Structures are given as C-alpha cells and as structure tokens.
Amino acid sequence: MKKALVCGAGGFIGSHLVKRLKREGFWVRGTDLKYPRFSETEADDFILGDLREMSVCREVVDTRFDEVYQLAADMGGAGYIFTGENDADVMHNSAQINLNMLEACRRRNSWRIFYSSSACIYPESRQMDPNNPGLAENDAYPAGPDSEYGWEKLFSERLYMAYARNHGFDVRIARYHNIFGPEGAWNDGKEKAPAAICRKVAAADNGGEVEVWGDGNQTRSFLYIDECLEGTTRLMRQGWQGPVNIGSDEMVSINGLADMAASIAGKTVVKRHIPGPLGVRGRNSDNTLISEKLDWRPSQPLRDGLAKTYAWIAQQVQIARQRGTAKAA
C-alpha cells in the first residue's frame, strides 16, 4: 500500500487532501498543530506536533513516504497577512517548517514532495489593473510580492528547487490562487473573501447591509477545493516539477462575489464599503502552462463552488446563532 504524508492535515486544504488520498487507497499520516476543526480526520495516523521543531519533523518522517504534501504554514486571509501585525511570525514560522521538513525528508529518503506556494509571490506591479489578464508563471521575476507572506513563499519555492538540484529531490511546486470551500476558516480572522462574504450574507436580513472592504472593484479568481486537489494530485504524479498556477481563470470583483453570494442566498443586500486591508488591485490565473503540462485545467464555474460553500457557512452561522456566538460581520 502506498504511503502519503500530509503536513498541515488539520487545516483546510490538508484535511480535504487526506480524505481524497484515503479514497484513492493510500495509507495516510497527517500532522499539524491541531486536528481538523470541522470534521474528524480520516488519516490512519495523526501526529499532533509543531513542525518548527526538528525533533517533531524527524518523528513525523520516521519512514519513507511515496508522497509528501507540505501544506503547513502560518497563513490567513487579507485580514491576517496584509495588516503587518503578523509578518515576523508568518515569515519565521513558515520558513522554519520548510527548512525542517526538507531536511527530515532528506534524512529518510522521502524524495517526492509537494510544496504549496501561492499567487501571493507575484509582483505587485503586475497586479495594479483590476482587468488583470492573468499571471503567468514567468511573471514571478523580477520579484516584488506585496506581502511578507509572498516573500516567504518565494524563498521556499527556491529552497525546494535547490533541494531538487543539490540533493536529488523530486519536488512539485504549485502556486495556489485563493482556494475555497466548505470546512475552511469562516469566522476566526483567518477567513478569506469567499468565506467572509458568505458569512456576511448569511448573517444579513433580506434587504440588510453587507460590509465590503474597499470599493469592492478589486478582482480575484477563486478555485473550489475539489479542483485544487485534482490539480495537486495530477501535478504530484507526472514528471514535471513546476512551479505552476493552480487557480481558476474566472475573474470576479469582490462586489460581484457579494452579488453572487446574495443571489445564491435568495436575498437582496446593500453593500456598505468600509476601509480594510485590500491586497493587490487585480489578480487572475493564467492557465496556459498547466493545460500544456498536465493536459488539464480547472473548469468549474465559480457559482457552483460558491453555492456549496454558502450552504455550509449558512449552516455554521445558524449553529453559532443558536449558541449565541454568531459573528455577523
């Protein structure tokens, strides 16, 4: 039986990835600081531990894995990575995890490792236009990410590529573009735009107000979790290392996203624009390279994934209300 390791298995993408690998027949070990928040892990083995500690990484990689997925990182949405308040933690914690995990894998001959980079590595200067035509992989240089989160990701991409060059690692690097779906952060300050918007719409009365950060004309694309996992596992199993975008190329403004969520909810809402951390003005994924290399590209309409996500978040809002803990905005 093939063995897979998922680092960050208590997080959003990692917990879904564990379920997928189990369906595919893998024996799976998960590891994280915490268990998944919204459902029981399906991992065969789960090590609770801090991957900033080398001793923990060595305990986790005590056998040779066929596939290692390194998703653990100190991260969150714009409210977490663009305020500047968490910069030192974000850089230190995530870099330390990547340094340790590569070394632990090297010592145990686990060569095939997937690293989750981010669209946040792309230079700010290429994302000033809300009609962004799409970021292609070679737009990454000359570098100029707009957050320390992006700089750490870029450093770690290079670290993984250096381990491939010097130590024979079989690395795979994906640049995820805004992944969303059920069982993701939705009310703890680490939520991203789709979850935050769904929560605000779910909490609003029909005809009520929904707060949107900035003028709402900033654009993004959002990829549903199932397609993220499809791209991730496809990349892992073919012979090319990346980095490659794993993102949707259906760009939408944040105002458009709020309108879509309201229409899914069957509500009319009034958008109230308030100051908030915004990130770049326009971002989209150019999917030419992934189509070429994997003969596949994400294709699911945003609305389909948003409908599934809205249904889950509306349920969470209702549960929180019943418990008297709903955060409405």
Q: Which residues are catalytic?
A: 149
User: Quick check: 134 binds ligand NAD (CB under 6 A)?
Assistant: no
Q: What binding mask, one character per residue, do residues 231-270 give for ligand NAD by CB under 6 A, x or -?
A: ----------------------------------------
Count of residues engaged in binding ligand NAD, rule: CB under 6 A: 25
CB of 120 to ligand NAD, least distance (A): 7
| Helix boundaries (H) for 172-301 | 193-203, 225-237, 254-265, 288-294
In which element (H, E) is residue 96 found? helix 87-107
Judged by CB under 6 A, which of 19, 22, 27, 33 binds ligand NAD? 33
Query: Which residues does 284 contact at the CB level (< 8 Å), separation at least 6?
Result: 132, 133, 134, 135, 177, 219, 220, 221, 247, 249, 251
User: Quick check: 86 binds ligand NAD (CB under 6 A)?
Assistant: no
Judged by CB under 6 A, which of 41, 100, 110, 116 binds ligand NAD? 116
Which whole-number Å values give the CA distances from 280 to 38, 119, 219, 262, 318, in the listed order? 31, 11, 8, 24, 33
Q: Please identify, using beta-carbon distances, which residue of 260 and 269 lies nearer to ligand NAD.
A: 260
Task: Calculate helix-pair angle for 302-323, 225-237, nearest 10 degrees.
Answer: 120
Q: Please identify, using beta-carbon distances, which residue of 13 and 264 lies nearer to ligand NAD.
A: 13
Q: Interaction with ligand NAD in 62-81: which residues (CB under 6 A)?
A: 71-75
CB of 218 to ligand NAD, least distance (A): 16
Q: Please identify, using beta-carbon distances, which residue of 33 and 307 lies nearer to ligand NAD.
A: 33
User: Quick check: 52 binds ligand NAD (CB under 6 A)?
Assistant: yes
Q: Please identify, using beta-carbon distances, which residue of 33 and 326 lies nearer to ligand NAD.
A: 33
Q: Please identify, using beta-carbon distances, which residue of 12 and 111 lies nearer to ligand NAD.
A: 12
Q: Please identify, using beta-carbon distances, which residue of 97 and 196 lies nearer to ligand NAD.
A: 97
Q: Are 225 and 180 in contact (CB under 8 A)?
A: yes
DSSP secondary-structure letter at 118? E
Contact region with ligand NAD (CB under 6 A), list: 31-39, 231-239, 258-266, 267-275: 31-39
Coil/strand/helix, residue 99: helix
Contacts 24+ apart (CB under 8 A), 140-147: 140/243, 145/120, 145/121, 146/82, 146/120, 146/279, 146/280, 147/81, 147/82, 147/120, 147/279
User: Quick check: 8 binds ligand NAD (CB under 6 A)?
Assistant: yes
129: left (phi over 0), alpha (psi -120 to 50) or beta: beta
User: Quick check: 93 binds ligand NAD (CB under 6 A)?
Assistant: yes
Nearest to 131 by CA among 219, 255, 193: 219
- What residues make contact with ligand NAD under the rule CB under 6 A? 8, 10-14, 32-34, 50-52, 71-75, 93, 97, 116, 118, 176, 178-179, 192
